[in-house]
A and B are shown apart, each in its own frame.
Chain A
């Protein structure tokens, strides 16, 4: 399944580094999402973009900054992270409608903050 791709797959960074996560969807969808997945916790929705406009920002710290240049690409810019930000970061896309909204996920980026 290569509908949603993410790079890098693994990332180790120090607390003072700046890095970016990239997501690309090849499904022609109109919405893209960033999630954080920590062990034994529910998926946490971070950001939603619909038609390239950000429609959700669930009180995410400003050290996470999303960018959606077009409907196929999504970035998550990271700076001055904390060790508790270590987690799996998942990107997803969907063809959003009120009737249904099945999200398709990328493989994730495993982030470790030292």
Chain B
């Protein structure tokens, strides 16, 4: 079967750095997405990785290792507004998105 694993919940301090991991086992790979979802709102697109390495976009960076079936989302200089769920999704060989259950990130002052 196809599977995406992420931690259920993480806690971090305002101003700090946090890394949210995602491991996947899918039939084929055609890219990995990270989305942010605030409570009661729509998921919003954060990043897309299809090649190995680090993609940086402001305070957020996303890393991919296809050989290890592993990605992480790195959030720097955490702000209270970063409190949200972070969803990892992998595009499989049929170009269908397989979603993780999401990681709820709690930021404390």
A: residues with CB less than 8 A from B are: 1, 4, 40-43, 45, 56, 90, 96, 98, 100-108
Contact with A along B81-92 (1 / 0, CB 8 A): 000000101010
B96 and A106: CB pair below 8 A? no
Contact call A105/B44, Cβ cutoff below 8 A: yes
- Minimal beta-carbon separation of A6 from chain B (angstroms): 9
Q: Are A42 and B99 touching (Cβ within 8 A)?
A: yes
Contact assessment for A90 and B100 in the assembled complex, using a CB-CB cutoff below 8 Å: no
CA distance A98 to B95 in the complex (A): 7
Does B70 reach chain A (CB closer than 8 Å)?
no
- Whether B91 and A101, one on each chain, are in contact in the complex, defined by CB atoms closer than 8 angstroms, is yes
Q: How many residues of B contact A (CB 8 A)?
A: 23
Contact B97 A103 (CB under 8 A): yes
CB distance from A23 to the nearest CB of B (A): 11
- Rounded to whole Å, the gap between the CB of A76 and the closest CB of chain B is 16
Q: Does B13 contact A (CB under 8 A)?
A: no
Bound CA–CA A33/B107 (angstroms): 32
The yes or no answer to B25 lying at the interface (CB within 8 A) is no
Residues in B with CB closer than 8 Å to A40 are 8, 101-102
B30, A42: Cβ atoms under 8 Å? no
B20 within 8 Å of A (CB atoms) = no
Q: What residues on A are CB-neighbors of B63 within 8 Å? A: none
Beyond A1-B42, A90-B42, list 12 extra A-B contacts (CB 8 Å).
A40-B102, A42-B98, A42-B102, A43-B43, A100-B50, A102-B48, A103-B45, A104-B45, A105-B42, A105-B44, A107-B41, A108-B42
Interface residues of B in 46-104 (CB under 8 A from A): 48, 50, 87, 89, 91, 95-102
CB A108 to nearest CB in B, in angstroms, measures 6
Within the complex, what minimum Cβ distance (angstroms) separates A8 from chain B? 14
Interfacial chain A residues near B4, Cβ < 8 Å: 42
The reply to whether B45 and A98 contact each other, CB–CB distance below 8 Å, is no
- In the docked arrangement, what's the CA distance between A106 and B65, Å? 31
